[in-house]
Each structure stands twice: as structure tokens, then as C-alpha cells.
Amino acid sequence: MKTYAIGDIQGCLEPLKMLMKKIEHDTPDARYLFAGDLVNRGPHSLETLRFVRDMGEMAVSVLGNHDLHLLAIAAGARKKERLGSLQAIFDAPDGDELIDWLRRRPLAYAESGMLLVHAGVLPQWTVEQTLMLAKEVESVLQGPDWMVFMQEMYGDQPATWQDDLTGTDRLRCIVNGLTRLRFCSEDGEMEFDAKEGLSEAPAGFIPWFDVKARQTKNDTIIFGHWSALGLLLRPDLMALDTGCVWGRQLTAVRLDDRALYQVDCQGLCTPDVF
């Protein structure tokens, strides 16, 4: 069975269906890995959640920052204002079921020697450590006190990982690394303000994947999140957020040979939440 990794969908269901039709012409029994941000900004967040959920074991999706935003609204940690296509989830008869399904998605997933995350991996972390740290947060999100954690999740501190971090600081740092990271310093200090491309790196910061001492430099990391970066394929990286919701492309890569599949999203997906 061949597996394909797909970048951020953000409620752009029609481009996703078009992309999968292309893929399934070549691979009728394809399996899919989604790099997170299934929802928000695009027009069909409810339908996208249902579509991916109904794929069952044929799909794995890690949590992205926009997915966590939806969970935070559900937990009362964010106001229900300017919800755009997220409003339909709260109005749907199966809305609670979808929220419950979403909070049980992983933050990191590994197979075939590759690691899937939404945004990045802090340079101090190995693949094994990343998976273990992700599970620490997953156990909270899937537990009875998940709403309490969502009230405490947001914040930029601590900006640097330390193995002896505890409590909310530890969990927040893990979430930020896996779902918000773009730039960091050589010693792993995270920077959250810059959202543009590589030429806009703040002074003293570099893309997380170019840190010389990165523990995962000999591994292949699949991620999305960074639409201004666009498609970047290297032996150690697959950056797959190609800005579908901004009218660019939705991208998939077949993992065994890195065959590239794309659809043009112009006119098919218009952002309604910024």
C-alpha cells in the first residue's frame, strides 16, 4: 500500500477531493498522512473534518495550530467571534463527536523512517523524544481535564526547551514546538512573530531545520504550517504547505519515491477567517 503526505487543507475540501482523485488514478488503495490544520480559514471546515474522519484507518492527521484553535473555542478558552466556517461545526448535530475525534489525533507520527508533525521539531529533540513528548500532550488532550489545559495552552514562554520543564510550561513548550515553530536560534530559542519566508528571518534566528546541531538532521521530517516557505523537498525534509487557502496549490508527495501531485486552488478556496 502506497502512502501520500498532504499539506495544510484548512477547510478547502474541493481541492482535496481533486487531489485525491489524481492520486487514486495511480493508486486506488492509497493511504494518507495529513500535516495538520484540517480546519479554519477555508469554507468547508465541517465537511473536511467529516471527510477525513470517515477515511478511518486509511488516514492519519496530526494536530495543527488551527485544529488546536478549534479545540480551544470548544473548551471556552477562545471567544466564539468571527468563526467563519468553524461555526458550522458547533451548529452541526455531530459537532461534539467531531471535536472529540479531533482531540484524539496525534501531535507527531512516525512510520517508514519518517516523522510527521505540523510545524517543526526543536533541535534538541530526537525522533524518539519527539514522539514521547507528543504523547505527554496527547494524554492530556484525550483525558478528562483537556478543557482545563486549553485554558492554559496559549503563550510564548518558555521559548527554549529544557528537559526539566514541568507542568503547563512543559506542555506549552511541546505544543509550540510541534505546531507553531518556524524560526529558532542555534540553541533552540523559538521565535513566533516572523511568518514570512526564509529571507525574512529575524536577526539571530534561522529556520528550525537549518540548525547545525539538530538531532533529527539524519531523519526525514514531513511538515506543513509555513505557507510562505512553500514546497521544499530535501533528503531530510518535506515542507508541504503550499498555500491552498491563499489560492496557490494543495500538494501531496508519495513517500516511497517522492512523486509530486498538486492541484491549483485558485477560485476553489477563499479564506473567510484571518
- The pLDDT assigned to 273 comes to 53
The domain locations on the chain are 3-264
What's CA 165's distance to the chain center, in Å?
24
- The pLDDT assigned to 274 comes to 45
Compute CA distances 77 → 21, 130, 168, 238, whole Å.
38, 26, 15, 32
Reduced to 3 states, what is the DSSP secondary structure of residue 137? helix
Domain 3-264: state its class. Answer: alpha beta
Separation of alpha carbons 108 and 216, rounded Å: 14
- The pLDDT assigned to 218 comes to 94
- The pLDDT assigned to 1 comes to 85
- The pLDDT assigned to 50 comes to 98
pTM as predicted: 0.96
Q: Give the cell for residue 215.
A: 538531532
Do 197 and 229 meet the contact criterion of CB atoms below 8 Å apart?
A: yes
Q: What is the largest CA-CA distance in the chain?
A: 50
- The pLDDT assigned to 105 comes to 98
Per-residue pLDDT of the chain (274 residues), as tens digits, is 899 999 999 999 999 999 999 999 999 999 999 999 999 989 999 999 999 999 999 999 999 999 999 999 999 998 776 788 899 999 999 999 999 999 999 999 999 899 999 999 999 999 999 999 999 999 999 999 999 999 999 999 999 999 999 999 999 999 999 999 999 999 999 999 999 989 889 999 999 999 999 999 999 999 999 999 999 999 999 999 999 999 999 999 999 999 999 999 998 887 775 4
